[in-house]
Structure 1
Amino acid sequence: MRTRTPAPLLTVRGLSRRVGARKLFDIAELDFPRATAIALTGVNGAGKSTLLRIVAGLEPAPGATASWTDADGTAHTVPLSPLPMSLRRRIAYMHQHPYLFRTSVRENIAYGLRHHGLPRDEIDRRVGAALGWAGVVHVQDTAPDKLSGGEIQRVALARAKVLEPDLLLLDEPTSSLDGHAREQVIALIGELAAEGRTVVMVCHDRELINLPGVVRWKLGEGRLDTRHK
């Protein structure tokens, strides 16, 4: 008896981008599987970061659509650009060099929750859990300009995780780190994937690519190979 393949978390159609006469990519249909960690690889300039930014709603995507099915079976298909609120609440994006507001670490992590209008006690609960998860309780009242590179990355991961998104998009999360700081961030990413979230990370870090269960996608020459070995 065949095992039924779960429906994708999200399906995006009509993803394309050109830079002048050069085609970065042209993807007719892209399924984001549920509860999967994905390493998006490819040479520099292939369009990996651009692809993530389009899906996150940070760059325009004329003609692209997004489709998904709710837990109650209701199907949705909407234009990807501008990113509708129904998707904005389900997707979190972390830049390669995260920008933190000029306030405390705690307030940085709480920002998105306040924007969504959550009750104060719920915000406090989620932020406290995120601080502990990322190992940054000791700097919760510290300004971002006093943090190390590794601490900044962990705060940014906590700020994404606290929103409880279904899909996390991470752009080169370990590129500026080495040693223990890099190992800490890799461990946190592994935990995010183990929670059952879908994590797509642009990376060249072999240790991230080789984490147990990670699926590799490769972008190059205008096409995306989602079955790359």
Structure 2
Amino acid sequence: MNGSTTPLLTLRGLSRSIGARRLFEVGELVFPRATAIVLTGQNGAGKTTLLRMVAGLEPAPGATVHWTGENAAARSAPLDPLPRELRERIAYLHQHPYLFRTSVRENIAYGLHARGLPQQEITRRVDEALAWAGVAHLQDTAPERLSGGEVQRVALARAKVLEPELMLLDEPTSSLDGQAREQVIALVRELAAEGRTVVMICHDRDLINLPGVVRWKLGDGILDTHHR
């Protein structure tokens, strides 16, 4: 699952404190290309906060982000606010995804409409995403009629359809069991195989033990990116 040795992103100076307590401090965090990563650690260690900072959903004062822009130019900027060039390259999936009160198809198409893509392109991409997630038969269904596993698959399709390079998933299988869990694990495996970088907050042994997965562990304020 590993790709080019040129990092997708490098973040520096990530830290978060709660009152006088330092939750974590990460001097440098490198996101490799085309890699599946599981982020583990005790509850309260700051895993969700860390990924939300990377996605631009939490303040990240003092942190910087470094990446390769067009024409292989080295770029850098403050992480907060997330640079416009990176917004379309990063997708964040909440542990309990929120779906808009419309159809499954319109939920998946939402981000593409927001980007102003032509309708023909939107239709093509949404059709492909519906088929990929195995929810084409639910495309006209209202979200409140979906099972937990179906909601998770629709949310994955809604993120994938935007074609991000970095996908950040918060406990994608935590509320699932049986076939629903197996279906989501299969989709996560495919995302990594496509060449995306996928970072998952995870306690699911089957996800952690997927072939080629890199393990990161956050604990005692330190992020170990070489955890075994």
Q: What is the TM-score with the length of structure 1 in the denominator?
A: 0.97
Query: Secondary structure at 1:38's aligned position in 2?
Result: strand
CA distance in 2, matches of 1:20, 1:206: 34
Alignment of 1:36-185 (within 5 A): 36-70=35-69, 72-185=71-184
Query: Secondary structure at 2:129's aligned position in 1?
Result: helix
Q: How many residues get paired?
A: 226
Counterpart residue number, 2:28: 29
Q: Please list the CA deviations of residues 91-138 of structure 1 after superposition, one character each: whole Å capped at 9, or x if unmatched.
A: 000000000000000000000011111111010000000000000001
CA distance in 2, matches of 1:185, 1:131: 14
CA distance in 2, matches of 1:22, 1:160: 34
Query: Secondary structure at 1:155's aligned position in 2?
Result: helix
CA distance in 2, matches of 1:39, 1:61: 22
Query: Secondary structure at 1:54's aligned position in 2?
Result: helix
Q: Which runs of 5+ in 1 are unaligned?
A: none
Equivalent position amino acid for 1:100 in 2? L
Counterpart residue number, 1:199: 198
Shift of 1:85: 1.4
Equivalent position amino acid for 1:181 in 2? A
Shift of 1:83: 1.0
CA distance in 2, matches of 1:135, 1:219: 34
Query: Secondary structure at 1:219's aligned position in 2?
Result: strand
Query: Secondary structure at 1:130's aligned position in 2?
Result: helix
Query: Secondary structure at 2:97's aligned position in 1?
Result: coil
CA distance in 2, matches of 1:84, 1:115: 17
Shift of 1:73: 1.5
CA distance in 1, matches of 2:70, 2:5: 12
Query: Secondary structure at 1:72's aligned position in 2?
Result: helix
Shift of 1:72: 2.1
Query: Secondary structure at 2:175's aligned position in 1?
Result: coil
CA distance in 1, matches of 2:115, 2:85: 12
Shift of 1:82: 0.9
CA distance in 2, matches of 1:115, 1:12: 27
Query: Secondary structure at 2:157's aligned position in 1?
Result: helix
Shift of 1:70: 2.8
Identity %: 76
CA distance in 2, matches of 1:73, 1:90: 16
Shift of 1:34: 0.4
List structure 1 runs of 4+ shifted beyond 6 angstroms.
none
Query: Secondary structure at 1:177's aligned position in 2?
Result: coil
Shift of 1:184: 0.2
Query: Secondary structure at 1:142's aligned position in 2?
Result: coil
Counterpart residue number, 1:216: 215
Shift of 1:208: 0.3
Shift of 1:71: 5.6
Equivalent position amino acid for 2:71 in 1? D
CA distance in 1, matches of 2:220, 2:41: 10
